[in-house]
Amino acid sequence: MIWPVTFLGAVAGLAVASIPGAMLGGLLGQVLDRRLRLQSWAALRERLGGRAEVRDEWLLFVLLGRLAKCGGRVLPAHIQQAQAEMQRLGLNAEGQRQAIAAFARGKTGRDSLRVPLRRQHARSEMLMRACWRMAWVDGQVGQTERELIMLWGKWLQVSSATQAQLSDAYAPQRGPLVSTASNAYQRALNLLNVNADAEPAQIKQAYRRLLSRHHPDKLAGSGATPERVREATERTRELHQAYDLVRQRHGFR
């Protein structure tokens, strides 16, 4: 005999209603663990209602985690690059633990990043530089990686021209006849945003303009956070190295 669906549903409802609260909680807990692979009620609420918004200070590592995973598999080079970014920021042990958690969160790809990114205009270049470094770490940028970075740049109000410059700054130079020294020289030119045939006065002007914009003393005096000051210090170091290399190649003081 086939029982009507409504009758079976009513019986099931009565059965559930007759189970004591504690026992019902235990049964549902088993369902969480075995069926949904969730470890807590908080995890269930997160699955049903959306994740808590990404905190600004760990947004960078969420982005890096998503980039590392979007090709399907996280490579050792991706892990090493994430560690390099932690060192670049001078994170302590607790900061590194938070960064690792944010990186793992980014790998899931479940966060909506539009709102947190739109708050980061002051850090837009730093974020995009780190993303391009991660994207190029395996020697090539896949279509999905490029599309993600361009979308994030749009939310950060970074122009396509700036994105192209940042990508070129970290792209490996192709060809067996191109030496490591040539690679470094080309990257230095990209970093200063000058051409190989630029006059010394143009190179000096570009260098001083970038140095003024990113100098850590200027940021520290304006009340910037320690993180931003560390970023500016690293950026200034890169500018010094790039200028010295270009200056030596062009033969001027």
Q: What is the pLDDT of residue 181?
A: 57
Equal CATH topology for 52-172 and 178-253: no
Q: Whole-model pTM? A: 0.56
Which CATH code is given to the segment(s) 178-253? 1.10.287
Q: What is the pLDDT of residue 240?
A: 86
DSSP H helices, the chain, are 5-17, 21-34, 41-49, 59-69, 76-89, 93-108, 114-118, 124-135, 143-156, 160-170, 180-192, 200-214, 216-221, 226-250
pLDDT digits (tens, 9 = 90+) for 115-144: 999 999 889 999 999 999 999 988 888 889
What's the chain's average pLDDT?
77
Whether the predicted pLDDT of 218 surpasses 60: yes
The domain locations on the chain are 18-50, 52-172, 178-253
Contact yes or no for 99/82 (Cβ under 8 A): yes
Look at residue 187 in the predicted model and tell me its pLDDT: 81
**Of the segments 89-93, 171-175, 197-201, which one has the largest average pLDDT value?**
89-93
Share of the chain above pLDDT 90, in %: 31
What is the predicted pLDDT for the residue at 51? 56
Average pLDDT rounded to a whole number, residues 200-226: 82
Does the domain spanning 52-172 belong to CATH 3.40.50? no
